[in-house]
Amino acid sequence: MSLTHDTDTNRAETLRALPLDAWHRARGGRMVPFAGHAMPVQFEGIIAEHLWTRRNAGLFDVSHMGQLLIAAPGADQTPARLALEALLPADLASLDLGAQRYSLLLDDRGGILDDLMITRWPGGFFLVVNGATRAADVTHIAAHLPAGVTLTERSDHGLLALQGPRAAEALASLGLEPAQPQIVPVERLWFMAAGPYRWNGADLHVSRSGYSGEDGYEIAVPVAAIAAFADALAAHPAVRPVGLGARDSLRLEAGLPLYGHDLTPDIDPVEAGLGFAIARRRRAEGGFPGHAKIVAALAGGPARRRVGLIIDGRLAAREGAMVLAGSTPVGTVTSGGFAPSLGHPIAMALIDAAHAAPGTPLSIDMRGRAIAARVVPMPFVPHRYHRKGVA
């Protein structure tokens, strides 16, 4: 795993419990410190949970993530949109009601402070931010909001992710009711579409998205209803609880970056391979942090690139390992681990652009031993999102 856990046992008393803490423990969840919370790293085993998710549906508790609502008073959300566009490179004017988009919180140098998901709501914009950066994100965003635009942290809701090819089948079996006439049943949502639903009197926010490369959903659930909702999902024969370990191996196979590892303030979006998150209108108009540097990198190409690596043998490369071209250091591993779907180790690395072409032979220094590696396109395992217009 490339996840970084808090290992100081003296900090255990300061960890926050997830709303489903007792639920996880009752099912044999092995709890570890992560992002200030006690979280399940595995239940029956990382490889078994990984493969189950690829074939069926894994239920992940991601309630450590931050859920933020940015809103202006009244029906006109233009002030909220403009405030967010001053912080993010997304084109929120083109974001339809119920549509979701991936974006980046940037610093003045174009470095990545966080990556996040943003959804257009009737009453504003709903953001899901990383748990490890939640407090810093709230402080940063709030400090840049004009008078009248508010930030509300939805700490009364947990967040579940249901991922895998049978996720739609399992979620549909619960009989969620669309909360508005124009909202389609959950199984008819497309990738990156969202909406309000009701289940047993509880108001849910459901998006067809996730962090596994598989089809699936993220579901914001009121804390008071989350245990009953998790019970109902877990009762479906396709669903099993899955921990942080398989979440990490799934996202690595999918070529998805992890904040704090593959993304940091020292890495800009173009280096990270996230140029798609810089909207065309925003490239032309600017108005977001680091605009000049990012547009220059888009035009001329970055000095470094995030790449995928296939590694010879069975030894997994770890974060921080040096990547070599011959005997010359050309980069650093940012994430690495064993790929259960492929049967061999893989990694992501930030390397000099001159060595980033697919097929380039490299090596990784693992404790003084050079292990052969090769640059390959990502994702390592094809995405299986339920995209509109794609069979």
- Tens of pLDDT along 325-375? 999 999 999 999 999 999 999 999 999 999 999 999 999 999 999 999 999
pLDDT (tens digit per residue) in 117-167: 999 998 999 999 999 999 999 999 999 999 999 999 999 999 999 999 999
Confidence of residue 11 (pLDDT cuts 50, 70, 90): very low
Q: Mean pLDDT throughout 79-99?
A: 97
Q: pLDDT tier at 269 (50, 70, 90 boundaries)?
A: very high
The H-or-E segment that residue 32 falls in is strand 30-34
Percent of the chain at pLDDT > 90 equals 95
How far is the first Cα of the chain from the last one, in angstroms, to the nearest whole number? 33
Tell me the C-alpha distance between 160 and 221, whole Å.
8
Q: CATH 2.40.30.110: which residues of the chain?
A: 303-391
Is residue 9 pLDDT above 80, yes or no? Answer: no
pLDDT bucket at 257, cuts 50 / 70 / 90:
very high
pLDDT of 232-255, one tens digit each?
999 999 999 999 999 999 999 999
pLDDT in tens, 293-317: 999 999 999 999 999 999 999 999 9
Q: Specify the 3-state DSSP secondary structure of 365.
A: strand
pLDDT at res. 122: 85
Residues of the chain with pLDDT > 70, as a percent, come to 96
Q: What angle do CA 237, 242, 246 make, to 5 degrees?
A: 130
CATH topology of domain 9-64+156-253: Gyrase A; domain 2 (3.30.1360)
- For the cut 70, the answer to whether the pLDDT of residue 8 exceeds it is no
What pLDDT shows up at residue 391? Answer: 64
CATH number 2.40.30.110 given to 303-391: yes
Q: Which of 191, 240, 199, 239 is nearest to 218 (CA)?
A: 191
Residues of the chain with CATH 3.30.1360.120: 9-64+156-253
